[in-house]
Structure 1
């Protein structure tokens, strides 16, 4: 008979209750993170490859390395100082669990004194991995930064779709409340616990159009729904990158709810036939698998934005959530009068998810066309600003300063048209950081977070600023918070997280972030610099030498005197240069010591 409890070191893994215990107190873990730990423990002492873990924990799903790195990072944090010792990284191969494991009798001296923070079954208590706790009023970023994914806020057919699990209960009287048709079983819905925020995942809408080339349209609508819902402070919304692995993959709502630790799920399809759009959608309670609301819509394409109000109103009655009047106005704002301009913006979006020099230029062309069609389209200006910011950040611009100036002009133009344009504020904050104007950067990022508390790039920007200001612990907290909402952090934000880990002496974690970045963006040479410093601090001389050679080969003009000069804390800069000097990238300095963890 299989053991129900497994003891290792000072801990007990309770398989029946699905929890990790330390001295009888439960340590909160997400369901997938628990599964990763279980698999590692069952294979203690031997190398476990990433493929082994993907097959065991995420069977039949296409998952990026981010999901695994995030789970390993969560485990190490949960295990505190024991984490790096118990779970070791074998570079480019996998992980090894370093502890003896023994079975424990069903009843032993451990008793659970603390109520579980997160139940593997998907309890109504919101998951700490998703909830956005706005703790510090700081913001953003490093030398050159960008947001690879642009979440333009465009309200469309379900834009509030799940304001769905999210809305209503005291919306101001000036809001038109249309008649609710009342699909589904509303008797199953309970008011969320006081202080708990409903958590929602909007799955990629299925493209049922005859033209497979319209896939971008279905994805764009999904992204708009997610970004619209993120503006409601009473709701926690999983990012597009969090739900994308489920695109085209069969999985039950219960399984997805457990994987993402969400209570509600929106799923549906979109079909465009000529000048008409057909949308079907439903809201599901993942705990019970019950449909709470469903509807079908068949509207003229010209009415696609008006359709938002109709869908949102029908869902509004599904759950009782208070929504501020200003949030209503933001969600129901019409982004553009031109459907053709909107279509150009949707076509440009994929370039922001995995930018290359070529697709960045192509996106710029599409966005200029959108602006020609609607000169007052704020989201198009913000997206165009981002293409310039990406060009400067990735080293594609002949004159980075001039390119950033152009980005700044476009972002300011976007805000003059719509002061709630989140992407424009994030870009301005990144530009302020480039010029080391940290107060201005902080102000812009905090405005962005106030508008959309679920925007991962804004939250990551806050972490960037905290890092450069020398508040490394708070920076890591903010960046990890962003990563919980968006597991696929962009290259710059993941670089910032890796650098912050390095400053805290968490070299394994720093190496993981840098290596992951380089697998996805081989040209992002700045990651190799952190990698070289972390390798040499671990006395991995051979690996450090290899990376240093790559740095000089890719960028023969690399100037170590400039790297890291944005640090306001002299001790942080000194410690970074200590690693660089040991790696042979910087003249040796005396007196640099490892910072306290």
Structure 2
């Protein structure tokens, strides 16, 4: 039987022997300090009050504040932490302590069998080699395998493993029969043709229940670097497949019927509402996330979306105290990454708190890079990294990453326009940003932060009437969104970026 342990960072707590190991070596530690670490590490992300700590570690005995402080200091030293660094045990002034690392306990029960009806399920059948040369089958098989691998990174989908999909190579069965045997809702089919120095890839998404083609696309590329072409085409196909499936399920989930909706359905509805930034939409998203959590209380994506709801509330000055909103977002992100460390969106929310609340730009970029590394072909995570790079003053890098995200996802949300025009604005190319500002003004009439950027761009181009109209709209939807709010809360790393933005907001007429 496996030893009961808790693991975090380079530390391992052996609960049966009462030993702490770091990097494989045993660390000498008083038993009470060991118990304190175990008590906190067993509650990652939770606020533990002093009273709760005394009750849980000391059994409710009367303990002085200095004794608690001494024990916490010893615990921190043992795990490579400190009062200044607080990588693991964070002091929350006047409230208590919080364990801020992701602690992992080994699973003592069998892994659950996934319910293939809970999320969209898909099988990618081997792409047909149309080149007439069996020796070139490696390329069509490579594309198929890469698509399966990259789709598997999306927690929103169930993807049938390559071995099972490839069992249907040259099978003389209908799509309905194959889908029934595999138990999936969707099939992907395709073909690859390579002639001279060109490669053509055809792909289509099928609903086997009706034999209808939901989506189809053709890609033509020069075969200069075969592996680059393979990576590029795979990434584009995967983003479009996921987008098509999500849109199909969003339409069903948004139909208004409440009976029979799954946690996944409510999550899709919440995502749509949150990313259509607006005060009412944000509240609608909150309601749907709460319904998702009623069905599945440990759903990591739902907790991450709840955190994003709080961030959207704070960054647009919609009433909740920003510090309270960021703390709520932090709690949600810690839960999400603890519940499922394969959920990239939890790291996105963590990064946003580091960015907006703490101004820890480099740490935010590290967390966002984690999300990108977990799902490299995902356009959304690439875009979040770009957003943070722009606030961090890396305008050219952010612009380039956004352009890549737009290429991978041609039906990109208006949120991409917001940050793309922010990069252009701070590169002093408002003329190129104008079309994006016009789109944002039209499609995001309640998003105070986005509207303020559009107003600044209009002002920088001398379009005073447009700038004033946008400012009037901001006053209606968010009276507290002022230049003082921008100065206090928008996370600009470079003072010159913030000053230029404030200068244009003043010219646009946004109140102080």
Q: Taking structure 1 as the reference length, what is the TM-score of the superposition?
A: 0.44
CA offset at residue 511 of structure 1? 2.0
Give the structure with the larger helix fraction: 2
Within the alignment, does 1:417 sit opposite 2:339 as a pair?
yes
Select 1:569's aligned residue among 494, 498, 505. 494
Select 2:395's aligned residue among 458, 469, 472. 472
1:199-214 to 2 correspondence within 5 Å?
none
For residues 509 and 279 of structure 2, what CA distance do their matches in structure 1 show?
31
For residues 185 and 282 of structure 1, what CA distance do their matches in structure 2 show?
23
CA offset at residue 360 of structure 1? 4.3
Distance 1:375 1:483, change over 3 A: same
Select 2:123's aligned residue among 126, 142, 161. 161
For residues 320 and 524 of structure 1, what CA distance do their matches in structure 2 show?
36
Corresponding residue for residue 311 of structure 1: none
Select 1:455's aligned residue among 378, 392, 401. 378
- Partner SS for 1:398: coil
CA offset at residue 395 of structure 1? 4.0
Distance 1:161 1:523, change over 3 A: same
- Partner SS for 1:563: helix
- Partner SS for 2:462: coil
Within the alignment, does 1:481 sit opposite 2:404 as a pair?
yes
For residues 126 and 314 of structure 2, what CA distance do their matches in structure 1 show?
39
For residues 345 and 462 of structure 2, what CA distance do their matches in structure 1 show?
42
Select 2:444's aligned residue among 521, 533, 544. 521
Corresponding residue for residue 205 of structure 2: 267
Corresponding residue for residue 49 of structure 2: none
For residues 516 and 286 of structure 1, what CA distance do their matches in structure 2 show?
29
For residues 320 and 562 of structure 1, what CA distance do their matches in structure 2 show?
43
CA offset at residue 320 of structure 1? 12
CA offset at residue 416 of structure 1? 1.3
Distance 1:480 1:361, change over 3 A: same
Distance 1:367 1:467, change over 3 A: closer
CA offset at residue 369 of structure 1? 4.1
For residues 400 and 312 of structure 2, what CA distance do their matches in structure 1 show?
25
Q: Taking structure 2 as the reference length, what is the TM-score of the superposition?
A: 0.51
1:350-369 to 2 correspondence within 5 Å?
350-354=272-276, 356-358=278-280, 360-369=282-291
Structure 2 regions of 5+ residues with no counterpart?
1-113, 163-189, 192-198, 221-229, 235-241, 243-259
Distance 1:568 1:191, change over 3 A: farther
Within the alignment, does 1:286 sit opposite 2:218 as a pair?
yes
Corresponding residue for residue 535 of structure 1: 458
For residues 262 and 389 of structure 1, what CA distance do their matches in structure 2 show?
43
More displaced stretch, 375-384 vs 417-426:
375-384
Select 2:504's aligned residue among 557, 564, 579. 579
Within the alignment, does 1:497 sit opposite 2:420 as a pair?
yes
CA offset at residue 200 of structure 1? 9.9
Corresponding residue for residue 388 of structure 1: 310
Structure 1 regions of 5+ residues with no counterpart?
1-152, 166-183, 203-220, 233-252, 255-260, 272-277, 289-318, 324-330, 332-337, 588-597
CA offset at residue 402 of structure 1? 2.0
The root-mean-square deviation of aligned C-alpha atoms, in Å, is 4.9
- Partner SS for 1:263: strand
For residues 548 and 396 of structure 1, what CA distance do their matches in structure 2 show?
16
Does the CA-based 8 Å contact 1:159-1:225 persist in structure 2? no
Greater Rg by CA: 2
Does the CA-based 8 Å contact 1:378-1:414 persist in structure 2? yes
1:305-384 to 2 correspondence within 5 Å?
340-342=262-264, 344-346=266-268, 348-354=270-276, 356-358=278-280, 360-384=282-306
For residues 575 and 419 of structure 1, what CA distance do their matches in structure 2 show?
39
For residues 553 and 346 of structure 1, what CA distance do their matches in structure 2 show?
29
- Partner SS for 2:486: coil
Higher normalized contact order (CA 8 Å, seq sep 6+, divided by chain length): 1
CA offset at residue 423 of structure 1? 1.4
